[in-house]
Structure 1
Amino acid sequence: MMDPLTALALASNIVQFVDFTSKLISTTHSLYASTSGAKAEHLELELLANTLRSLADDAAPPSQRIKNVSSEESTFIELGDMCRRVSDELLTVLQSLRVKGSHRGWTSFIQALRSEWKQKEISALQARLDRIGDILNAKILKNLQIKVYLELKDLNKQNTRLQAARAHDIEVLASDIQAKFEEMGQEFEKIHEQTTTTESLKQLSLAAKQGRTYSAEQQILDLLHFEGMENRHANIRPAHDKTFPWIFESSTTPGSGRSGSEFVEWMVSEDNLYWISGKPGSGKSTLMKYVWNHDLTRMNLQKWAGGSQMVVCKFFFWTASRAELPKSQEGLIRSILYQMLRQFPDLIPHALPSEWHAYILRDLAPSRLRNDDLQLSELLVAFERISSQLVTKNIKFCFFIDGLDEYSGKPNEIIPLIEALGSSPNIKTCVSSRPWNEFEKAYGQSRSRKLYMEEFNRPDIERYVRDTLEKDPTYQELQEMEDTTPDLVKDVVDASSGVFLWVYLVVQSLLDGLSNEDSIANLQRRIRQLPKTLKEFFRSIFNHIDEFYMEQTAHVFLVTLRANQTLPLLSYWFIEQEDDFAIKLEVQPLSMQKTNFRLKQMRKRLNACCKGLLEVQFDEASDNENASLSSSVLFQWKVDFLHRTVRDFLIEKEMQDLLTGWAKSGFSADLMICQALLAQIKTSPQEAEYLHPDGPVEKLRSISCCHFRGIEPADEQNWTRSLTLVDALKETMQRIRAAAGLSGETPAMKFLTTCPQEKSP
């Protein structure tokens, strides 16, 4: 299909060709003075030939591979071909006239043309031009008007989704195009003819081309963007109130002998790299999110940037991601490129020239260039091209890259890439990681350009513990009633070793004790008896799980480990049901009353069987359009591990053996996920906005597809059950699409070829 902006530009160009050619063969188009020499004649004929050729090229369709064209688009293509044939004939005449350059004295092109053609041929040519004008009348242009407005509306919508810096430009473009259409409408009424002025069409053509430019920019941004790009950053808990102020302070941090302003000094200096390190669970990612969001970060970096524009970009590696990109080099570069180019779309043609020309010339339909076609080497070249433009464009960037230890490869693979990213004097990079030897060697040599969380976060831990306990009514009452109140806060802080996650778990244990009316002495004993490392703490939690919940606990953890993507909270409610529950379930939307009740139930059940090692969070990184749906709570309350260290603990062989032993015989996490998602799809709203290709129901179907692929035929019983579920899913999708008034085939369930084999953790 030809998009409306391309059609508008083509229609305008055809009219301009007809207008120019009609004037050329009329008596009104002067050629040159009769006294001019042969050389001048030759040059003027050359100029006419070039102009005619250019106009004919612009009037031709942008690609010969346009398929599924409408009758209106077919008309444009036919008219473009007619223009090209007229052009070819006149170019032949011009070539002949240039060869016969000795004939001088022509005062107009028509005189010259009559020396080559008879009047009958000239009249026939004019008739053909008139026919083109008659076909391409104002009616066709007016029909395009509505389509163009809808296209501009979609451009604005996509701009919002991609967060590109074109909102004002698209608004101005839409206003200009509307003004030109209105101007043309007034001319139609004035002269009562189905024609319009060339100047108005010329302006419309230029505006349409600008719209195509914005569309091409969006296509390339979409090419770089990938699902889950923002998930890790969005799911990191915000910093506790009034914690981390030391990162921007200049006074000496108590007990460390270090200046808290060294991070600020780095931001305003010419040094290109700063390293934030610390133990697992010490709060590195939380600090990175805090710094990234803080206004003081941008204010200080602007001092470094001086008169240049200052832009910050981020990437948070995520080893627990079910997809590969959030923990890969390719994901890092694509995310950085996307953020750079969406803020400076004028750099897109420089960064990816081949893709740019493919889109702008419409030689390649968007569906034919997938985002996995861009290789890492091509992405790096694109980054180098942008870097080379920064000085002349007066732009400076600062990258915040969190969790280098969560990169899926080896540290010695990611370290050179970080170095390459910061090689430009116009780029700074702040990275964070655990204090592994490789990172210590690469980034730990400068004392003033690194920090270790455990050396700084003691005041933050103290504030968190004190604020949390003092909000508890029972703790307040104990403080008032006890004759002597030991400082529980100090006890926790002293034992924490700077590990914030350990503190969080200890505080949860203390709150449990307070709910059981523990005395201060018993609370102190809790602190002394609690394990002092995260791994020991996790093991202790499993040792205290009620035997009644062991099977349910195993199923929930194994499903969460196995899931191709984080699953909705409601899916976990269906996981608890009988094996054939999803097959027997009717295809009928769930009421919001039942939905909210089940979500409330499931939160409590997860807490009972998983003891806080899984958490429920609202997925703020989900597509904005889906987030606005009335039933978004069905899909956007997601379940994931409390912290990466929980997942690391559970994938150890000892814990895998334990969970497998607790699970029921023949348990398949893949099959259980498929059953739960089928049930959730059956009870989803039957409305079109939930069923579009990027909609929540289609995403659940896609996840199911991957997990069907994970069930081995050798597991005969589960394989047979999976085939029944596949048939049920196909039928369900057909029924809810029909109920939503959607025609066409259900998205294919060719999971054996479209979904990669998932390996068990």
Structure 2
Amino acid sequence: MSPLQPTVGLASAIVQSLDFADKILSHEHSVHHSSKGASPGDHAVLQNVANNLYRLTSKIAKADKKAGKIGGALLNLLSVGEQTRTWIGYLAEYVLQAQAKLKYEEPEHASVRDALATVKKDKELVGLKEHFGDLRGEVDATLLVALRQPLDQSQTKDLSGFAVEDFRVPFLERWQERVIEAIQTNGWQANKKQHLQEFSKVLDTLVVAENEAHFRNEIFGNLHFTEQDDRLHSITPPQEGTCDWIFEPRLQKGTKLLEWLGETTGQNLFWLTGKPGCGKTTLMKYMFRNEMLFPKLEEWSGLAPGILTGFFLWNCGTNIQKTTVGLLRALLYETLQDMIYGPLEQDPGIIQYLFEDRWNQFKSYGAGFHPFPLSELRKAFELLVSDASKKFLIMVDGLDELEDSPSHALDMILGLSYRSNVKIIVSSRPTEVFEQAFQDRSRLELNKWTRTGILSYVLHAFDQNDVMFGIPDQESDGTEERAIINSLVDKASGEYLWATLGTEILIQTTKETDSVKTIRARVDALPPDLSELLAYIIDSMDTKSLTQASRVFRLIDAHGYPLLLPLCFANDPDTKSSLSAETAPLTMSEVLSRVTAMRLMLKTRCKTLLTIFEAKAPEGSLVSDATTSDLMHFRVTYTHRVIKEFIQEESMRSRVYTATGNDALNTDEHWANAHLWSLKTPAPSKDGKIAIWDMLADCIEHALRLEASTKRVRLTYLDEVSATLDHYIFSSPITSLDLPSASPTVTVSSFLDIAVWLNLSGYIKVKARTTDRKLVKHAWEFSKEMRKMNGIGGEEKWVRGRGRLREAYARVDGEVVALLKEHRKTMRIGSPKVAVDMPEWV
């Protein structure tokens, strides 16, 4: 790594901080108010200003660490960085003081400077602005000297070989080459004012580009969601050859998909429909980004560049996976990623163009990263595809999986379909709302075309099973065997799900001693209706199987689609087993033992009603071949939405849950146990690090849920969480707590720091009486710093759906505040103690 890498990085961080501070201290720098909506108000503006100031000082601190070993002239730059952090910290405090002094009935301030004038004299603000200007001059001069040194020593300009992290690499390399060439050409010297001014202008381009890159990264981060591709990865790839017919003109016999792909007549929407379980999603996955699409699409697109994007909605997933907001966020993210970083190499400035109002807010006062409303997402996507020089193919699977009103998505999709440069393939069940919306559009009713594929599937399943493969005997002419297979295919009636479940239950119940006649009788007993088949499968379970299966159903219903290993922990009947578990990663043999047992249970006890999938690409990894790190991507979910809906029907709940005693199962107890197991036995990632924030937060969330339901603080449990955290802090250098929004200067010394920050009031009341005052004082300071860094509403980025944790964080408990205050100050003998209503604990 070149010495210039940390130099330029530190200088850039300092200049960005000084540049933003200079803006908000200027009368001329007005607050941007959107013309498209209500003003955010001074309170929100000032909070965003403070948040951005803390972000920038944190960036300096991180750059300081990288530049800490550099000597010579750059020691001055480190000093300037430290001064900048200090003075920016003062400015942030002034901003928060101005915020606290606001009165909501007062008119809004035209600038942040006007708001600051309510807490500081004008002379002080002028002096602060001038001080920041002086610091900027020192940065410019120091960096110019640093860049000149290697030139003066080697008389060469080939210094472009240093690497800089992530998005900054291309720009900084070009910037360095340009500025070094300018230094050589112009002979700039740091002791000449005009030279320094010219160099300063070049340095400004670095700051502008860094700000643009930060804005783009934040927008991408707000569009993307972790589980965005999980539905796509959960879909089992079709058996080889079963979907090829969709691209074969001689096999299509009037489906018209290929014809539709290439036509330019304006019929730009194709509806793939069919009965539940007929394979719509599997076919959509097969077609998604399939190279066989491209020849026909090129007939339509001509010389215009083409962009293919899509999203697979999922009713069995999280809230964001089954809403129009989630759909649009995914479409925008995937399309923009492809346009900017794909072969088109679109100007990244398209982000500022699509989200112009947010960009102006960011430039004005560091804002623009609030949650996306549906209206803004829709407008941005429509603006994106309005570029007629590009052609867009959009694929949306599972419109019927939407939980919000389908009219939002339908209005948008139908509107897009009238654009000549857009084609859309959608899939859904043939419900009334979609029949009406797509009645005049090209369509394919899939269950009418799947017999050949289902036959291929059944034959393949029989071929892969030793018992079924040996059905024919020497005395048979094969007629009965073919009748068994044809009966399965006929009963499936175009539904792949029926074929999968029916074939699997037949295979599981067949023994080597069974005759063909016996097997045929079992096939005849299978009901042809999918719902009746599911009831048949449930009724066929013995008591032990039904009890185990219903417990797993309850655990999944309470958690979504959990990771495989935590589900193994949650399925443990002993909900206190984690308390005595050793704090150390499980060995690979221990992990595989648990996972193998769970896989076997899902197959035999749950009758393939649940499935395991890998929530990442590439697909196809086998659990038996996976490393411990790889297993962190395997998840468990219902094999199909139809199964989830069936199990959760009121009539079925009594048969599946109540009859087995699992209706009273406390799933929070089981998942609390699972999360503590996960916290105590984490698997390192491929870089060797262990990030534990999410596991820690899940433990706290479930402790709070149990406290809310029983009115007792889970002291024993949280003490074990505390001991585990102590182990990580003091004994495991590879562990990263990875605290959200934390400054590099903020460190955790004990679990009490976390408890005070997150406002675990019951736990604090119990522990504070016996805790060392130094630890209480540190916890209070830690909490103040963390809440200051996060700002109002900043917790949403790390709470991520943990409702009890969000409630605790926002709650103000006067008794806890008084108790912490008492323990932070030196107490004299005889001083009255704060009276606290002590909670019960277990």
- 2:427 is aligned, of 423, 426, 432, to 432
> Structure 1, residues 194-231: CA drift from partner, whole Å, max 9, x if none?
99887777556535533443332222111211121111
- 2:461 is aligned, of 462, 468, 472, to 468
In the TM superposition, residue 633 of structure 1 has moved relative to its aligned partner by 3.3
CA contact (8 A) 1:454 1:497 kept: yes
SS in 2 for 1:242: coil
**Partner Cα separation in structure 2 for residue 282 and residue 318 of structure 1:** 16
SS in 2 for 1:154: coil
Paired amino acid for 2:81? E
Paired amino acid for 1:489? I
- 1:66 is aligned, of 53, 58, 65, to 53
In the TM superposition, residue 473 of structure 1 has moved relative to its aligned partner by 3.6
CA contact (8 A) 2:11 2:139 kept: no
SS in 2 for 1:450: strand
> Structure 1, residues 41-61: CA drift from partner, whole Å, max 9, x if none?
xxxxxxxxxxxx99xxxxxxx
Partner of 2:212: 213
Partner of 1:155: 166
Partner of 1:332: 327
In the TM superposition, residue 153 of structure 1 has moved relative to its aligned partner by 3.6
After TM superposition, list the pairs within 5 Å mapping 1:89-108 onto structure 2: none
Partner of 2:410: 415
Partner of 2:574: 578
Partner of 2:360: 357
SS in 1 for 2:271: strand
Structure 1 residues 432, 416: CA separation in 2 closer, same or farther (over 3 Å shift)? same
In the TM superposition, residue 457 of structure 1 has moved relative to its aligned partner by 1.0
Structure 2 residue 459 is the aligned partner of structure 1 residue 452 = no
Partner of 1:106: none
After TM superposition, list the pairs within 5 Å mapping 1:306-325 onto structure 2: 306-321=302-317, 323-325=318-320
**Partner Cα separation in structure 1 for residue 190 and residue 328 of structure 2:** 58
**Partner Cα separation in structure 1 for residue 385 and residue 199 of structure 2:** 40
- 1:736 is aligned, of 728, 733, 751, to 728
In the TM superposition, residue 559 of structure 1 has moved relative to its aligned partner by 0.5
SS in 2 for 1:383: helix
Paired amino acid for 1:242? G
**Partner Cα separation in structure 2 for residue 130 and residue 730 of structure 1:** 44
After TM superposition, list the pairs within 5 Å mapping 1:293-308 onto structure 2: 293-308=289-304
Structure 1 residues 198, 654: CA separation in 2 closer, same or farther (over 3 Å shift)? same
Partner of 1:399: 394
Structure 2 residue 12 is the aligned partner of structure 1 residue 8 = yes
- 1:641 is aligned, of 638, 660, 666, to 638
Partner of 2:803: 756
Partner of 1:287: 283
Structure 1 residues 422, 670: CA separation in 2 closer, same or farther (over 3 Å shift)? farther
In the TM superposition, residue 331 of structure 1 has moved relative to its aligned partner by 0.7
Structure 1 residues 737, 535: CA separation in 2 closer, same or farther (over 3 Å shift)? farther
CA contact (8 A) 1:228 1:621 kept: no
Paired amino acid for 1:408? E
After TM superposition, list the pairs within 5 Å mapping 1:300-699 onto structure 2: 300-321=296-317, 323-344=318-339, 345-359=348-362, 361=363, 363-364=365-366, 369-370=369-370, 373-388=371-386, 390-391=387-388, 394-446=389-441, 449-479=442-472, 481-485=474-478, 486=480, 487=482, 488-620=484-616, 631-658=628-655, 659-663=657-661, 666-685=664-683, 695=691, 697-699=692-694
Structure 1 residues 688, 733: CA separation in 2 closer, same or farther (over 3 Å shift)? farther
SS in 1 for 2:306: strand
CA contact (8 A) 2:546 2:660 kept: yes
CA contact (8 A) 2:269 2:417 kept: yes
> Structure 1, residues 156-183: CA drift from partner, whole Å, max 9, x if none?
4xxxxxxxxxxxxx65434324535766
Structure 1 residues 749, 191: CA separation in 2 closer, same or farther (over 3 Å shift)? closer
CA contact (8 A) 1:474 1:514 kept: yes
In the TM superposition, residue 293 of structure 1 has moved relative to its aligned partner by 3.0
Paired amino acid for 1:363? Y
**Partner Cα separation in structure 2 for residue 497 and residue 687 of structure 1:** 46
**Partner Cα separation in structure 1 for residue 529 and residue 7 of structure 2:** 60
Partner of 1:28: none
Structure 1 residues 77, 524: CA separation in 2 closer, same or farther (over 3 Å shift)? closer
CA contact (8 A) 2:707 2:713 kept: no
> Structure 1, residues 482-502: CA drift from partner, whole Å, max 9, x if none?
422121332221221100011
CA contact (8 A) 1:616 1:637 kept: yes
> Structure 1, residues 355-402: CA drift from partner, whole Å, max 9, x if none?
22344x38316xx834xx2211222222233244x12xx112111111
Paired amino acid for 1:136? A
CA contact (8 A) 2:611 2:639 kept: yes
SS in 2 for 1:155: coil
**Partner Cα separation in structure 1 for residue 569 and residue 14 of structure 2:** 56
> Structure 1, residues 108-145: CA drift from partner, whole Å, max 9, x if none?
xxxxxxxxxxxxxxxxxxxx999946982247756999
Paired amino acid for 1:729? V
In the TM superposition, residue 666 of structure 1 has moved relative to its aligned partner by 4.8
Paired amino acid for 2:493? S
**Partner Cα separation in structure 2 for residue 573 and residue 225 of structure 1:** 30
**Partner Cα separation in structure 2 for residue 349 and residue 131 of structure 1:** 27
TM-score by length of 1: 0.72
CA contact (8 A) 1:5 1:151 kept: no
SS in 2 for 1:451: strand
Structure 1 residues 598, 351: CA separation in 2 closer, same or farther (over 3 Å shift)? same
Structure 1 residues 249, 437: CA separation in 2 closer, same or farther (over 3 Å shift)? same
Paired amino acid for 1:422? S
**Partner Cα separation in structure 1 for residue 589 and residue 208 of structure 2:** 51
Paired amino acid for 2:218? Q
SS in 2 for 1:610: coil
Q: Determine which structure has more spread, i.e. the larger CA radius of gyration.
A: 1
SS in 1 for 2:603: helix
SS in 1 for 2:694: helix
Give the unaligned 5+ runs of structure 1.
16-52, 55-61, 81-127, 157-169
Aligned-residue identity in percent: 23
CA contact (8 A) 1:404 1:433 kept: yes
**Partner Cα separation in structure 1 for residue 87 and residue 279 of structure 2:** 66
CA contact (8 A) 1:5 1:211 kept: no
SS in 1 for 2:583: coil
Paired amino acid for 1:72? V
CA contact (8 A) 2:568 2:594 kept: no
**Which deviates more from structure 2 when the two are superposed, residues 348-357 or residues 427-436?**
348-357
Give the unaligned 5+ runs of structure 2.
1-5, 20-27, 30-47, 62-78, 89-132, 151-158, 340-347, 737-746, 762-794, 806-842
